[in-house]
Structure 1
């Protein structure tokens, strides 16, 4: 299990919205709430930890992006995300834009 965690931690990356569009079009993007650790979610999905994944889905902590979110992201092509590929999914978390901080 620790090998899987290490492997996923190593492939954790950032991506611009533009790069994610093809994955959204094939319905492969899963949006992970900021309160969850992206690697923890990746490990749970890759390890078929169904109870954990079901709980996160039920609590709407992992979801498919809504059309409203996609529209907002299309309007902000510089939007960036933390990303983790766990085939066949691309797990993403929105990054806070420091320019928009008050």
Structure 2
């Protein structure tokens, strides 16, 4: 599953995510936590991992104050689709470049 998520990972601005927030389909992963692991746990309905992540604050549903901060700071996010949910994590370009390198390696294996 992790390779599938990696291949489909994207980097988005808040404006691309707003509709998912309005529909309450958005989960945010705290910086420094493994976004892919938590997205995989959501996809597999692993209530133990997801429950612990929610309790610890590693994954959360953003509120209006958080959203306003993100809009003001013009942040970009690693974005993983785990239908019907969208899992995001604040990420700068340097960190996203590492994700792109991993994507390229997975795609090379397939060809």
Same fold (TM over 0.5): yes
Runs of 4+ in 1 over 6 A off after TM superposition: none
Question: Could you list the per-position Cα deviations for residues 6-34 of structure 1 after superposition, in whole angstroms to 9, with x for gaps in the alignment?
Answer: 11111111001111111111111101011
Structure 1 unaligned regions, length at least 5:
none
RMSD between aligned residues: 1.6
Question: What is the aligned partner in structure 2 of residue 82 from structure 1?
Answer: 78
Structure having the higher helix fraction is: 2
- 1:36-75 equivalences under 5 Å are 36-75=33-72
How many residue pairs get matched?
A: 94
The TM-score with structure 2 as length reference comes to 0.77
The TM-score with structure 1 as length reference comes to 0.83
Structure 2 unaligned regions, length at least 5:
95-111
